[in-house]
Structure 1
Amino acid sequence: MEPGTLLLLVGGLLAVSMAVALGAARLGVPTLVAFLALGMLLGSDGPGGIDFDDAELARTVGIAGLAAILYEGGLSTSWRRLRRVAVPAALLATIGVVATAVLAGLVAHGLFDLSWLEAVLLGAVVASTDAAAVFATLRFTHIRRRVARTLEAETGLNDPVAIALTIGLIDWIVDPTFGFPDLVLAVVQQLALGLVVGVVLGAAAMWAFARLPHSIGAFAPVASVATAALTFGVADTIGGSGFLAVYLVGLAVGSTPSRYRRQLVAFHEGLAFLAQVAMFVVLGLLVFPSELPAVALPGIVLAALLVLVIRPAAVWIATAFSDFTHRERALLGWAGLRGAVPIVLATFVLSSEVGEADTIFNAVFFVVVVSTLVQGTTLEWVAERLDLIDPRPDVVAPPLEVDALGSLELVEFDVAGDHSIAGVVVRELGLPRTALIAVVARGNETIPPRGSTTIESGDRLFVLAPRESRPELEDVFARWRQRV
């Protein structure tokens, strides 16, 4: 294919994807489902007529895309936000995933013509919540902070567990000498090595990004992509979980006070969107609508039970000794969105020698569609009914502009009720000497602050500071966010 033709096709596909995303947003349809439908329309059973059945290529695209999404999820967060929910999130990501795999396997064995191991494999494939779906949904919802952060941490951690479990079960099915002890060892080895690589390279990345000179600031996104690729490659090469490692390194970079953090987050949000488009279009091409009716009814039943029974039961098992309220556990149970990860894992099965791979792949399609349409569109509504909505301050336009030469910047900071600066007067905020509070937005009014002005919950602070002092300012913001 000529380079011009290839670029024309790629550009056209991206333009169509943007139009699909815009149309889906206006119609209230989840974009993930819209991209999946676009892939199906382009496939051999659709008007596009593209004959695509390369499961290995789909798996490669899915792995690269999922790594980009997990890195962006970690980068958009920070350890400071997640450390208070690390334990329950880790329990949901481990005990919750195993419980979901076993319970879903029990149901799948009765619904499909699968052996016990194949049924549990199907359960493992659909066991994890999806990073792309959860991050995208939480970005536009106002769910109470503790529950939202638990979901953020869980979805970043449970994908590696589900992936390791899926790979181990595939090995068990295709290799007669493989057994349960080998499965446990393989899962533990992948997670342990991924954890070590993530921690070591995360520490190195924090050191490097905190000292990235201004002279090469334009290359910060390149350095970030290189960091993610090297992390995944190192972990995968030594037999560890590249997904766990890349999420942890993204979390480390996102926790680093740096003048480039906002630039990196914006860049990787776009890259993650591109990854979603590529993943779901390619995965949609692998779906043959003519094969779906045979598994439609049992697939929908499995999806319904996963939403209504299996995920809630797994959450209650994993959080049995936590201090979550019944309402919070109910919302965690409802928030088990399935998306790209189960379909990517289904391509692992499809490219293996598992006998019922096609059945598993088609069943996963229904699980993803039902979960995305039902849970993805009702999550905030359910949170409202459970009284777990955290009100946000109204959007306030910046009340002033800063100098056009770009030596100063205006940085916003939203004050929550549990932040350490709520109730503190301006003179005690501990700002750098080169920074000042320019304006305090409170409700519908703007307040020129004095030293005696008291900061209240819900205020939005506009901090004026030189661009080169951004790392120091981020450290101050970190102290402000500490809970009282």
Structure 2
Amino acid sequence: MDEGTMLLLVGAVLAASIAVGVGASRAGVPVLVAFLLLGMLLGSDGPGGIEFDDAELARHVGVVCLVAILYEGGLSTSWRRLRNVAIPAALLSTVGVFVTALLTGAGAHEFFDLDWPQSVLLGSVVASTDAAAVFATLRHTQVRRRLARTLECETGLNDPIAIALTIGLIHWIDDPTFRVDDVLFLMVKQLGIGLLVGIVLGVVATRVFAQLPRSTGSFAPVASVAAAALSFGVADVLGGSGFLAVYLVGLAVGSTPSRYRGQLVHFHEDLAFLAQVTMFVVLGLLVFPSDLPDVMVAGFVLALLLCFVIRPAAVLLSTAFSDFTNRERAFLGWAGLRGAVPIVLGTFVLSEHVAKGETIFNAVFFVVLVSALLQGPTLDRVAGALGLLEPPSPTVHTPLVVDESTPLDLIEFDVSSEYAIAGVHVRELGLPRSALIALIARGAKTIPPRGSTLVEAGDRLYVLAPPATRAALDDVFERWRRRV
């Protein structure tokens, strides 16, 4: 294929993607499902007729996409936001993954023609929630902050664990001398090296971004991509989990105040969405619709079992000793979104030529399809039905720029009569030192605030703060919203 034909093909696929995305949005169809169907239409069984069955290439593409997704997941959050939910999230990421893998494996052994190792391998492939799907969904919901942060932390941590488990099981299936203790040792080794590399390079990355001169600010995204690539590459070369390392480096960079943080977050959000779309198109290309009828019924049953039974059971066991309410556990059980990660792990199975690998990959197709159609679009409604939604977040306006070094966010906060902030003096609001109440709108009046000014129900507060304080401000707003 010459360069002109290749660029023509790429341009045609991109143009089709735009048309499909716009059409899906207007029709109310999840965009990622539309891209999955686009991949199937472009494939050899569809009118596109593209012959694509290179699992090794798909695996390489998937790894790069997953690095982009995990780095963005870490960058978009901060340790300050996650530290209070680290323990339950860690349990969901470990106990939850193993319980999901085993229970899904039991179901797969019953529904498919797979032996036990192959069945548990299928369970491990779909055991983790998907970072891109979770972060993208939570950005458009008003789920209680603690639950949202638990899901954010869980999805960042459980991907490396599920990946390590999948790789260990593939070794076990391929090598008869490989034992269960070898699988566990491989997992511990990968996670340990990944943790060490992530911490070390995370410290280095934060210092680099803190000292990046203002004159080279346009290179900040390049430096950020370099940090993600290096963290994965170093850990992988040393035999560790590059996925854990890249998430931790992203978390370190996102937790450190920097004049470039807002710029990097927006850049990597777009990059992660592109990566997720790429993976759904690749899944569509790799799936041959003519092979699906043989596993359709079993695939849908297994996917529904994972949504309604297995994930809730894993959440229940993982949070048995936490203080989550039953309604919160029910929501966490429903929020086990699957997406790009099972697709990537499915390409691992295909590229390693595991026996019955096509069956495992086709089952992944149904799990991802059901999750994208059923769980993602209903997450907000389920939270509302369970009474787990918060009031709308404060409105953030376009940053005000006093000079090049001091951009400020202007944030609106509406005071309800039920909030703890109503009846409190301005000097008692507990804002970070770098933030201030610029103005209070009370009906048709505007009030210049003083320390003795009393905040009343119905007021609208205008808060000025540097972008780097948003994590601290989120905690303050959460305290303000507490019911009296």
Is the TM value for this pair above 0.5?
Answer: yes
CA contact (8 A) 2:73 2:247 kept: yes
- CA distance in 1 between counterparts of 2:236 and 2:372 reads 30
Residue equivalent to 1:439? 439
- What are the equivalent positions in structure 2 for 1:353-364 lying under 5 Å apart? 353-364=353-364
Q: 1:246 to 1:302 in 2, by over 3 A?
A: same
CA contact (8 A) 2:206 2:253 kept: yes
State the shift of 1:163 in Å: 0.5
Residue equivalent to 1:411? 409
Query: Does 1:167 pair with 2:167?
Result: yes
Residue equivalent to 1:192? 192
CA contact (8 A) 2:129 2:159 kept: yes
Q: Secondary structure at the match of 1:49?
A: coil
Amino acid at match of 2:214: H
State the shift of 1:279 in Å: 1.6
State the shift of 1:409 in Å: 3.5
Q: Please list the CA deviations of residues 115-155 of structure 1 after superposition, one character each: whole Å capped at 9, or x if unmatched.
A: 01101111111111111111111111111111111011101
Residue equivalent to 2:260? 260
Amino acid at match of 1:370: V
Q: Secondary structure at the match of 1:292?
A: helix
State the shift of 1:448 in Å: 4.0
- CA distance in 1 between counterparts of 2:145 and 2:35 reads 30
Amino acid at match of 2:131: A
CA contact (8 A) 2:74 2:248 kept: yes
CA contact (8 A) 2:394 2:411 kept: no
Q: Please list the CA deviations of residues 270-301 of structure 1 after superposition, one character each: whole Å capped at 9, or x if unmatched.
A: 11122122222122110000000000000011
- CA distance in 2 between counterparts of 1:238 and 1:316 reads 36
Q: 1:445 to 1:32 in 2, by over 3 A?
A: farther
Q: Secondary structure at the match of 1:337?
A: coil
Q: Secondary structure at the match of 1:439?
A: strand
- CA distance in 1 between counterparts of 2:335 and 2:69 reads 18
Q: 1:440 to 1:194 in 2, by over 3 A?
A: farther
Q: How many residues align?
A: 475
Residue equivalent to 1:137? 137
- CA distance in 1 between counterparts of 2:184 and 2:470 reads 42
- What are the equivalent positions in structure 2 for 1:12-27 lying under 5 Å apart? 12-27=12-27
Flag structure 1 segments of 5+ consecutive residues without an equivalent.
Answer: none
Amino acid at match of 2:148: A
- CA distance in 1 between counterparts of 2:80 and 2:419 reads 12
State the shift of 1:10 in Å: 2.9
Residue equivalent to 1:339? 339
- What are the equivalent positions in structure 2 for 1:359-378 lying under 5 Å apart? 359-378=359-378
Amino acid at match of 2:380: E
Q: Please list the CA deviations of residues 435-463 of structure 1 after superposition, one character each: whole Å capped at 9, or x if unmatched.
A: 75433467998654334345689955342
Q: Secondary structure at the match of 1:51?
A: coil
CA contact (8 A) 1:300 1:370 kept: yes
Query: Does 1:241 pair with 2:234?
Result: no
Report the aligned-residue RMSD.
Answer: 2.9
CA contact (8 A) 1:254 1:261 kept: yes
State the shift of 1:480 in Å: 4.6
State the shift of 1:212 in Å: 1.7
CA contact (8 A) 1:410 1:462 kept: no
Amino acid at match of 1:363: A
State the shift of 1:205 in Å: 1.3
Residue equivalent to 2:462? 461
CA contact (8 A) 1:315 1:333 kept: yes
CA contact (8 A) 1:257 1:474 kept: no
Q: Please list the CA deviations of residues 94-123 of structure 1 after superposition, one character each: whole Å capped at 9, or x if unmatched.
A: 000000000111111010110011011111
State the shift of 1:16 in Å: 2.7
State the shift of 1:61 in Å: 0.6
CA contact (8 A) 2:228 2:250 kept: yes
Q: 1:300 to 1:151 in 2, by over 3 A?
A: same
- CA distance in 2 between counterparts of 1:445 and 1:346 reads 60
Amino acid at match of 2:46: G
CA contact (8 A) 2:410 2:465 kept: no
Q: 1:85 to 1:405 in 2, by over 3 A?
A: closer
- CA distance in 2 between counterparts of 1:453 and 1:439 reads 11
CA contact (8 A) 1:32 1:133 kept: no
- CA distance in 2 between counterparts of 1:456 and 1:288 reads 62
- CA distance in 1 between counterparts of 2:472 and 2:107 reads 51
Residue equivalent to 2:387? 387
Q: TM-score with structure 2 length normalisation?
A: 0.90
Flag structure 2 segments of 5+ consecutive residues without an equivalent.
Answer: none
CA contact (8 A) 2:394 2:414 kept: no
Residue equivalent to 1:49? 49
Q: 1:130 to 1:211 in 2, by over 3 A?
A: same
Q: 1:325 to 1:361 in 2, by over 3 A?
A: same
Residue equivalent to 1:208? 208
CA contact (8 A) 1:299 1:366 kept: yes
- CA distance in 2 between counterparts of 1:476 and 1:349 reads 43
Amino acid at match of 1:461: Y
Q: Secondary structure at the match of 1:231?
A: helix
Q: Name the stretch that deviates more: 342-351 or 422-431.
A: 422-431
Q: TM-score with structure 1 length normalisation?
A: 0.90
State the shift of 1:372 in Å: 1.2
- What are the equivalent positions in structure 2 for 1:208-357 lying under 5 Å apart? 208-357=208-357
Q: Name the stretch that deviates more: 12-21 or 345-354.
A: 12-21
Amino acid at match of 1:425: V
State the shift of 1:211 in Å: 2.1
Q: Please list the CA deviations of residues 25-61 of structure 1 after superposition, one character each: whole Å capped at 9, or x if unmatched.
A: 2322222211111111100001110000000000111
Q: 1:233 to 1:223 in 2, by over 3 A?
A: same
